[in-house]
Structure 1
């Protein structure tokens, strides 16, 4: 088992995506490998222009809660999701898109932001990543 973190990104909620990226970037910054396996609603965030579109998991309030949280994040200089993804890629992180979810939801590779995706894979791809990891999370 290596010094690696593998995270299933199942949720497309903004706060949960932040959590996944912050943990993954932290692992990379500590010298570990990290991979993010995007599936179901998490995969929707990989669509072109979709990264910032997710709602909050709680207190979304038709978008008002999200605007309030984003305002507070801006005041405290929290990086945007785009910045966190760019940092993740720059530090060597791996992003995997779930092929089964793509089929179920009618998503083609051309619909996704292909510049950040390293691989397309099914459950076996995730299992291999997890098998080689000392940390696995489901967010």
Structure 2
């Protein structure tokens, strides 16, 4: 736990477009950088953002003033954060497990909720 942080942070993303993915990654990387335990959970609506190559497409938009989403994703993982994809998204969005980015965990909602218990901060995008 960080001196300044709450200890645990949960960020839920339910859209795969840049206006939702970028704050998810920015808040997640920020929380991880101050020592919080970070869990990013992508609902089916946000699932496509975790398909290989999708964060690169957001990066290639060159969004003015915003950091590289691939670097943010990598930073979350490097700092010990977790990125979880809801297992319902696989069938719902037609995503094959082998097409999911490296480092993503695939869990059901109850498992996520158990892991998220005790979070001092939560954000939804």
Instruction: Give the TM-score, by structure 1 length.
Output: 0.76
Q: Is the contact between residue 130 and residue 136 of structure 1 (CA under 8 Å) also seen in structure 2?
A: no
For structure 2, the 5+ residue unaligned runs are 1-5
Equivalent of 1:127 in 90, 108, 113:
113
Supply the distance in 2 between the matched residues of 1:125 and 1:5 (Cα, whole angstroms). Answer: 16
Equivalent of 2:9 in 5, 9, 12:
5
Q: C-alpha offsets along residues 64-107 of structure 1, whole Å, 9 cap, x if unaligned?
A: xx95xx2533xxxx421111111111111101111011121221
Aligned to 1:63: none
Displacement of 1:130: 2.4
Equivalent of 2:50 in 46, 56, 72:
46
| RMSD across aligned positions (CA) | 1.9
Relative distance call for 1:127 and 1:83 in structure 2 (3 A) is same
Instruction: Give yes or no for the alignment of 1:116 onto 2:108.
Output: no
Equivalent of 2:78 in 80, 90, 94:
90
Aligned to 1:101: 89
Deviation >4 Å, runs of 4+: none
Displacement of 1:15: 2.4
Instruction: Give the TM-score, by structure 2 length.
Output: 0.84
Aligned length: 119
For structure 1, the 5+ residue unaligned runs are 55-65
- 2:83 alignment partner, SS class: strand
Q: Is the contact between residue 48 and residue 93 of structure 2 (CA under 8 Å) also seen in structure 1?
A: no
